[in-house]
């Protein structure tokens, strides 16, 4: 126990200890994720085909099943140095408050203006767009974390940034919209009348508040219909998980530096970008038979793709313009209750995370939102950081596991991903504090109804 005192509250790597390569866990997977399918032909997409939508370098990365490490270009490493390394924090105060023998660590990705880990991939995608000589990129955003991250990245490289923002967030969460404008991005509430798919959705569902799946369709259409533009996405895709591996690689280096072996690794899971990035080097060790970890994906009970979805091919977007992916899905038409706060609202799950889950390398569990906010408040009061609702899903399970250790007396090392801060989610906190927050769990019928529309493939 003498080493304990030597572990600082925050482990910061030196600049020269930061990763210079991203890790692609697919290279070590025996069962590769099923290929993306062309929505027209239902055949596996080629790099050429998806290069109409994504930048070329990113398209290659997207389909690469064999390259384990990708060099991080110097320009991106320099940008990373502006806000990375992120600290791996020893949660001394939370441990004390829980009176647990467990040691709790969290990798905190919120110390940048986007407020989350999303910047790690945004800067990579902007870099390759710039390198390809593009004018700009298009994307969608829900509450605005991804859009903010991309706005910052585009501003850095002098690219035009067009963001389709889910209408309800555009209207009700103006602050993140203004942050994006500060970075020079153009924001359009979605569904808009500027795209064909937007006009169609508006006609079909007049007065709709919009959804992420629908904003994706608009952003893709905007990308392919403008000269010099490509589409970029903040989660789900393999390329995003590759970029986000910087989280896991830093975490691993920091743990190794102090001789700490993680027992349990916990991440919240929406599309899988943070979870996939955090766990990939650890999952890699498991796949190579070098080590063993308990890995837990935590999703909201209101949008339970891993725990209650089906592992099938499905559309990634409502407008059905994107390639199909094999993934745990609730059906591309699934809409979580509007009373559900924060992100983690996506109907599907990264195909890498899906395959690892199908192969039993990771567990999944779901938690309800009032419980999540209870733990968010406890975390804020003990650790100081006001966590994002998304991150608080991971906090919730970390606390549960730490309390189990208290019962058993085990001193486990629990590591979780604290993806971001909740500064732009104060309405949700307010409804929790006022006691008006509701839980919502879809019925089996809701899910079956949505899954009935999943395309028949194979």
The CA-to-CA distance between both ends of the chain, in Å, stands at: 55
Q: Is 179 in the site for a second copy (CB under 8 A)?
A: yes
DSSP 331: -
Select from 46, 174, 408, 438 the one that contacts a second copy (CB under 8 A).
174
- 44 is a contact residue toward a second copy (CB under 8 A): no
Q: How many CB atoms lie within 10 A of CB 407?
A: 8
CA distance 339 to 431: 10
Tell me: does residue 186 bind a second copy (CB under 8 A).
Answer: no
**For a second copy, what does the binding mask look like between residues 378 and 397, x meaning CB under 8 A?**
--xxxxxxx-----------
- Cβ nearer to a second copy, comparing 114 with 202: 114
Question: 169 in helix, strand or coil?
Answer: helix
Q: Count the site residues for a second copy by CB under 8 A.
A: 43
Pick from 3, 14, 48, 206: which binds a second copy (CB under 8 A)? 14
Site residues (CB under 8 A) for a second copy, limited to 70-129 = 78, 81-83, 92-93, 111-113, 115
Residue 175 binds a second copy, judged by CB under 8 A: yes
Told to check if 293 binds a second copy by CB under 8 A, we report no
Answer yes or no whether residue 181 interacts with a second copy by CB under 8 A.
yes
Which positions ≥6 away from 420 have C-beta within 8 Å?
Answer: 109, 110, 114, 115, 116, 117, 145, 387, 388, 390, 391
By beta-carbon proximity to a second copy, the closer residue of 18 and 63 is: 18
Choose one: 66-74, 350-358, 429-437, 449-457; the region binding a second copy (CB under 8 A): 429-437
Listed in sequence order, the residues at least 6 apart from 304 whose beta carbon sits closer than 8 Å to its beta carbon are 330, 366, 442
Nearest distance, CB of residue 22 and a second copy, angstroms: 20
The answer for residues whose C-beta is within 8 angstroms of residue 139's C-beta and 6 or more apart is 146, 147, 150, 161, 162, 163, 164, 219, 231, 232, 233, 234
Q: Which is nearer to a second copy, 184 or 455 (CB)?
A: 184
Binders in 308-347 for a second copy, by CB under 8 A: none
**What is the closest distance, in whole angstroms, from the C-beta atom of residue 9 to a second copy in the complex?**
4
Beta pairing partners, 421: 387
Please state, in angstroms and rounded to a whole number, the distance separating the CA atoms of residues 309 and 331: 8
Choose, by CB under 8 A, the member of 127, 170, 311, 424 that binds a second copy: 424
CB count, 10 Å around CB of 5? 7
Distances (CA, A) of 378 to 154, 226, 261, 370, 437: 36, 48, 26, 12, 17
Q: Could you tell me if 214 and 201 are in contact, meaning their C-beta atoms sit under 8 angstroms apart?
A: yes
Query: Helix, strand or coil for residue 12?
Result: coil
Considering beta carbons, is residue 267 or 387 the nearer one to a second copy?
387
Closest among 52, 56, 352, 54 to 232, alpha carbons compared: 54
Contact 437, 431 (CB under 8 A): yes
Answer yes or no whether residue 20 interacts with a second copy by CB under 8 A: no
State the sign of the Cα–Cα–Cα–Cα dihedral 154, 61, 331, 321.
positive
- Does residue 257 bind a second copy (CB under 8 A)? no
State in angstroms the smallest separation of the CB of 398 from a second copy. 17
Give, as one character, the DSSP assignment of residue 114.
Answer: T
Question: 3-state class of 251 per DSSP?
Answer: helix
Least distance to a second copy, CB of residue 118, Å? 13
Q: State yes or no: residue 178 binds a second copy (CB under 8 A).
A: yes
Strands (E), 129-176: 136-141, 160-166
Is 218 one of the binding residues for a second copy (CB under 8 A)?
no
CB of 316 to a second copy, least distance (A): 30
* One residue of 225, 291, 411, 430 binding a second copy per CB under 8 A: 430
In the range 140-159, which residues lie near a second copy by CB under 8 A?
152, 155-156
Which among 37-45, 272-280, 389-397, 428-436 is the span making contact with a second copy, rule CB under 8 A?
428-436
Q: Which residues bind a second copy (CB under 8 A)?
A: 8-10, 12, 14-15, 78, 81-83, 92-93, 111-113, 115, 152, 155-156, 174-175, 178-179, 181-184, 377, 380-386, 421, 423-424, 426-427, 429-430, 433
């Amino acid at each position: 126990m003498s080493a304990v005192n030597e572990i600082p509250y925050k482990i910061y790597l030196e600049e020269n200890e930061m990763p210079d390569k991203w890790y692609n866990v697919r290279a070590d997977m025996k069962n590769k994720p099923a290929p993306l399918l062309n929505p027209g032909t239902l055949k596996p997409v080629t790099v050429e085909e998806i290069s109409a939508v994504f930048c070329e370098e990113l398209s290659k990365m997207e389909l690469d099943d064999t390259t384990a490490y990708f060099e991080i270009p110097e320009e991106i490493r320099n940008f990373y140095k502006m806000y990375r390394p992120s600290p791996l924090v020893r949660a001394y105060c939370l441990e004390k408050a829980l009176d647990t023998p467990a040691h709790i660590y969290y990798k905190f990705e919120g110390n940048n203006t986007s407020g989350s880990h999303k910047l790690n991939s945004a800067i990579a995608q902007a870099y390759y767009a710039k390198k390809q000589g593009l004018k700009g990129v298009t994307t969608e955003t829900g509450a605005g974390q991804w859009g903010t991250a991309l706005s910052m990245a585009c501003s850095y490289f002098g690219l035009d940034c067009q963001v389709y923002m889910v209408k309800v967030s555009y209207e009700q969460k103006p602050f993140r919209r203004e942050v994006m404008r500060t970075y020079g991005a153009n924001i359009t509430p979605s569904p808009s009348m500027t795209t064909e798919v937007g006009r169609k959705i508006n006609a079909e569902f007049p007065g709709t508040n919009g959804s992420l799946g629908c904003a994706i369709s608009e952003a893709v259409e905007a990308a392919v219909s403008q000269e010099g533009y490509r589409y970029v996405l903040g989660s789900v895709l393999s390329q995003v998980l590759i970029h986000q591996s910087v989280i896991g690689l830093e975490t691993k280096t920091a743990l190794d530096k102090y001789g700490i072996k993680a027992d349990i690794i916990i991440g919240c899971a929406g599309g899988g970008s943070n979870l996939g990035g955090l766990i990939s080097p650890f999952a890699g060790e498991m796949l190579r038979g070098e080590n063993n970890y308990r890995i837990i994906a935590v999703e909201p009970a209101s949008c339970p793709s891993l725990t209650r979805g089906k592992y099938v091919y499905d559309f990634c977007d409502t407008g059905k313009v994107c390639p199909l992916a094999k993934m745990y899905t609730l059906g591309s038409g699934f809409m979580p209750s509007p009373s559900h706060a924060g992100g983690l609202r996506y109907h599907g799950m990264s195909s890498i995370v899906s395959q690892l889950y199908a192969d039993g390398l990771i567990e999944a569990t779901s938690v309800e939102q009032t419980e999540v906010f209870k733990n968010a408040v406890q975390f804020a009061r003990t650790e100081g950081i006001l966590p994002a609702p998304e991150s608080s899903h991971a906090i919730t399970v970390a606390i549960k596991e730490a309390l189990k250790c208290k019962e058993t007396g085990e001193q486990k090392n629990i590591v979780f991903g604290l993806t971001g801060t909740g500064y732009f989610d104060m309405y949700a906190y307010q409804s929790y504090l006022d006691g008006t927050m509701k839980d919502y769990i879809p019925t089996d019928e809701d899910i079956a109804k949505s899954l009935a529309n999943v395309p028949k493939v194979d």
